[in-house]
Structure 1
C-alpha cells in the first residue's frame, strides 16, 4: 500500500514538473517576438541606411542637439508601428528615398539646422520606418514585445551612431578635424546618391 502511495506521489510530481517546463517554454517562445522586433530592422537595407544617416546627422550637429533624438526616435517608431497596414509599398519606398536624399544632401552641404527641425525630421522618419516594420507583422505576433524590441534597437543605433560621429569629428582645435568633416560630407553625398537611385527605381516601376 505504501509503495503504491509513493508511486502516486512520484507520478504527480513528474506531471507538475512537466507542466512547469511547458509553461516556461511558452514564455520563452513569446519572448522571441521581442528579439524579432530588435532584429527586424537589420533585414531591411532602408532601415540600416536611414537610421545610420539620422544618427550621423545628429552627431554632426553636436551632442547638445542630437541628444534629443534618444527620446524622439524610439517614440516615433512606436507611433508608426500601428500604421503599418495603411501605407502602400510604393508610397513608402518613395518617401524613404526622398528622406534619404534630403538627409544626404544636408550632410553633404554641412547644413546647420535647428534642434526643432532635427527632431521633426527624425520623428517623421521614425514614424515611416515604424510603419514599414509594422507592415510585416503576422497575426500571431505579440505587438507589445515586438514594439519593445524595435524601440530598444532604435534607441541603441541612434545613440551609438551619434556618439561615434561626435567622437570621429573631434574638436575644432584638433588638426585632423577638417578632413574628418570632409569624410562626413562625402558620406552624405553617397547617401544622397543612394536615395536618388532608389527614387528612380520606385518611379520607374
Structure 2
C-alpha cells in the first residue's frame, strides 16, 4: 500500500513538472480572450494544486485572516501576468515546487500563520502562476480581457476553497479531531508532491 502511494505521488509530480501551459490556448481560442483567461488555469495541474493549497491554508486560519486573500490573490495574478515574459520555465517550476512544499508543511504542522505572512504566501503563489499563465500568450491575445478572466476565476477559486475549508472545520476547534487530521494529512500529501516535483526539476 505504501509503495502504491509513493508511485502515485511520483506520477502526480511528473505530471505537474511536465505540464505544457501552451496547449490550453488551442482549446480556449474559440471562446474569446476573457474565457481563455478564465479557463486556462483550470487546465494546468500546477494551478489547481497551488490554488487549492493556498485556499485551504487560508480557510484553516479563519475568516478574519482569510478574507484578505480575496483582493490579494487576484491582484497577484494580474501582477504576474504583466511579468510573464521575465520568468523562465525551469525557475517557475522550481518556485511552484518550493511553494507546494512550504504550504503543505504549514498545513501538516497546523501552524497559525500571521496575516501578513499568509498574504505574502498567497501573493507569491499568485504572481508565479499569473506569470506562468501569461508567458505563452501570443501577440494577438487581448491581455486586458485575458487578465480579467484570470482575475475572476482566481477570485472565485480562492474564495470558494476558503469557504469550503472553513465550513468543513467549523464543527470543531480541536486539532485532534478527524477533520483537522484530514486537513493535516492533505498538507502532507501536498508537501510530498512539492518535494518530488522539486527533485524532478533539479534532476532534469
TM-score tier by shorter-chain length is 0.7 to 0.9
Over the aligned positions, Cα root-mean-square deviation in angstroms equals 1.7
* Higher Cα Rg, which structure: 1
Q: Conserved in 2, the CA contact under 8 Å of 1:169 and 1:177?
A: no
The match for 1:146 is: 146
Distance 1:33 1:43 in 2: 15
1:183 and 2:178 are equivalent in the alignment: no
Distance 1:136 1:45 in 2: 16
SS at match of 1:85: helix
The match for 1:16 is: none
SS at match of 2:113: coil
- Runs of 4+ residues deviating >2 angstroms: none
1:41 and 2:41 are equivalent in the alignment: yes
TM-score, length-scaled by structure 2 = 0.83
Distance 1:49 1:31 in 2: 25
1:120 and 2:146 are equivalent in the alignment: no
Q: Conserved in 2, the CA contact under 8 Å of 1:170 and 1:177?
A: no
- The Cα offsets for residues 129-152 of structure 1, whole Å up to 9 and x where unpaired, read as 110001021110000000000000
Superposition deviation, residue 30 in structure 1: 9.0
Superposition deviation, residue 170 in structure 1: 1.7
1:203 and 2:202 are equivalent in the alignment: yes
The match for 2:92 is: 92
**Structure 2 counterparts to residues 1-205 of structure 1, below 5 A:** 32-172=32-172, 178-205=177-204
- The Cα offsets for residues 73-128 of structure 1, whole Å up to 9 and x where unpaired, read as 00000111011111111100000000000000000000001101100110111011
The match for 2:7 is: none
SS at match of 1:137: coil
Distance 1:85 1:65 in 2: 32
